Amino acid sequence: MPEINIGEAATAGLRMMGRQPLAVLCWGLLMALYVGVLFLLFGGGIAAAISSIVATGGGQPAPAQILALIGAGFGFFFFLFVGGQMLALVFRAAAIRAELEPEASAFAYMRFGGQELWVLGASLVFWLVLFAANVVMAIPIGIISIATVAGSVASAAHDGAPAMAGTFAAMSGVRIIGQLIVTGVSIWLWLRLCLGIVMTFKEQQFRLFESWSATRGHVWRMFLTMLIVGLIEFAVGLVMFIIASITAGVTIAAIAQDPRTFFSQPPTVWLGAMTPLLVVGLIWIVVSTSTSNALAWGAVARMWRQLHPDSDVAKTFV
């Protein structure tokens, strides 16, 4: 019976980055370029709105000033979310393609065709299932919490503050245990359904729920595989967080000396002072986008290959 090799699957993304470093880097560069373009489009409006509000000298900003800031900020985050999700879909499919079809390396494995559209549909259903499961689990936890609050109020009225403190401690325990249950079930569902994304990509048909039977008996090894992947991603993120924190500290220290004077300068001046922080942010986007897609979806695709060794044999004789 095919089995998952934890070490091989967990390091599939690392080997992918070793085989095709430029392709993987392109994913992060494309995301950073997109964010940079959005910043150029909306950053000036946001900066101008902030400058006009600061220029009021602490007075009440005009509604037009507030609306200008909200409009520019909303436009930035709207296009960041929509465009970012579409690019994430392309990168997810590219990582799967790099693992399953390493010979299809043109355009850094990126496409936007039938396979990506199938992955888009499967991904939407995937996250809807996880969202619905979280809502269903949140209902009884909320009911128990409300009942605990009611009990604490009644206890306080009868026995005083010590009883209320004990009841609130119990309520906190209920909330923590409930959150752990929700997190555990969400992880379990993710593991049971994740291979469906790869199957949908491979067969260009909706195969999300076929993952349920494919992962039966393999969840524990899948969990250990993704735990290792998560630890690698955490290590990379920690390094970037330290670099970003140091850069942010230096930038904020310069601003904190006299914030009003700083933001009263022309936007080009204070945006220039924040350039190092923006550059570090873009580098973080490049690193996180590239590594997270290669590590996570490379591992998922490798686990699918391990459970379907016949697919590699069939490809050899094509």
pLDDT digits (tens, 9 = 90+) for 18-54: 999 999 999 999 999 999 999 888 887 877 777 777 6
Using DSSP, state whether 204 is helix, strand or coil: coil
Residue 1 clears pLDDT 80, i.e. is over it:
no
Residue 318 pLDDT grade (very low, low, confident, very high; cuts 50, 70, 90): very low
Residue bearing tokens 């503050």:
161
Residue 143 clears pLDDT 50, i.e. is over it:
yes
How far apart, in whole angstroms, are the C-alpha atoms of residue 307 and residue 303? 6
Give the model confidence (pLDDT) of 80-136 as tens digits.
Answer: 999 999 999 999 999 999 999 999 999 999 999 999 999 999 999 999 999 999 999
Residue bearing tokens 């290959």:
305
- Residue 95's nearest CA partner among 36, 207, 32, 15 is 15
Residue 313 clears pLDDT 50, i.e. is over it:
no
Domain boundaries, the chain: 6-316
Q: Which residues of 75-89 are buried (b: 16+ CB within 10 A; e: fewer)?
A: ebeebeeeebeebbb
Between 234 and 169, whose confidence is greater?
A: 234
Residue 292 pLDDT grade (very low, low, confident, very high; cuts 50, 70, 90): very high
- Residue 296's nearest CA partner among 93, 84, 122 is 93
Q: Please enumerate in sequence order all residues whose Cβ is within 8 A of that of 35, keeping only pairs 6 or more positions apart, or say none.
A: 80, 84, 282, 285
How far apart, in whole angstroms, are the C-alpha atoms of residue 134 and residue 140? 11
What is the reported pLDDT for 220? 95
How far apart, in whole angstroms, are the C-alpha atoms of residue 251 and residue 12? 38
